[in-house]
Amino acid sequence: MKKFFAAFLGFVIGFYIFMPKTYLFYYLQNKLLENKIYITAQLRPGPIKLELNQGKIYYKSVNVASFKKAEVYCFIIYNETDIKTVEFPVENLVIQKVKFSHTMFKPYLIKINAKGNFAEKISGNIDLLNKEIKIYFKNIKNDSIKEFLNKDKKGYFYYEKL
């Protein structure tokens, strides 16, 4: 059992450290481009994370969002992406921080937690299995946003199903 633990620990640490984070980002960039989504950023790979600075996201050649900093942690069992200061090409709409998390125990689910200047608490899920997104907005500061949302007992939410 100790032998297995030593081998497993060595493999896991090696797996994180030797992970070609930049090349994996290029691979993701290629895959997203197939869906007309283009991400560009200054990359800074580290031993446990990939840092993206001054990123821009384009959809069909239109700049839909930009972010100042993003940190990608890929631990396979648990993956997390923290993005700071997401700006959209519309005035008065900024997401100060957003966290995407994914665990192997629920591989089809991506959790979203964010804080924006239009809503204090934004939380929801991306269900890859059912291809649906449901995001709740709490403490909405800008009422005009409500027009774009649906409402249930829990509050205002955005829902999309492919």
Partner 1 sequence: MKNYKYLFLFVISFLTAGVLWQIISFYLPKYPEIHHIEQNGNSFYNINLYKIFSSGKKVTDFQKSNIKQISETLNNLELKAVYNDGKKAFIIVKDKTGTVFLDLNQTYNGYKLTKISSSYAIFQKNKKKYILSFTKNKQKKATKKYFNSLTKKISKKTLNEYKNNFSKIWNEIGIIKINKGYKITYVKKGGIFDKLGLKTGDIIMKVNGEKITNDIQAWNLYNNIDKYDYLEIEIKRNDKTKVIEYEIN
What is the nearest approach in angstroms of partner 1 to the Cβ of residue 97? Answer: 20
- Annotate 98-109 with b (16+ C-beta within 10 A) or e (fewer): bebebeeeeeee
User: Is the Cβ–Cβ distance between 74 and 51 less than 8 Å?
Assistant: no
In contact, 132 and 160? CB cutoff 8 Å: yes
Nearest to 112 by CA among 98, 93, 94, 96: 98
Residues ≥6 apart with Cβ < 8 Å to 148 = 158
Which of 46, 76, 84, 92 is the binder for partner 1 (CB under 8 A)? 92
The reply to whether 130 sits near partner 1 by the rule CB under 8 A is: no
35 part of the interface to partner 1, by CB under 8 A: no
Q: Rounded to an integer, what distance in angstroms lies between the CA atom of residue 70 and that of residue 80?
A: 10
The secondary structure of 119-134 as a DSSP string is: EEEEEEEEETTTTEEE
Q: Is 111 in the site for partner 1 (CB under 8 A)?
A: no
Q: Which of 35, 46, 91, 141 binds partner 1 (CB under 8 A)?
A: 91
Q: Choose which of 33, 76, 104, 128 interacts with partner 1 (CB under 8 A).
A: 33
Instruction: Tell me if 159 contacts partner 1 by CB under 8 A.
Output: no
Q: Of the ranges 19-27, 67-75, 98-106, 108-116, which one interacts with partner 1 (CB under 8 A)? A: 19-27
Counting residues that bind partner 1 (by CB under 8 A) gives 43
Binding site for partner 1 (CB under 8 A): 2-3, 6-15, 17-20, 23-24, 26-27, 29-30, 33, 38, 40-42, 54, 56, 58, 60-63, 89-93, 142, 144, 147-148
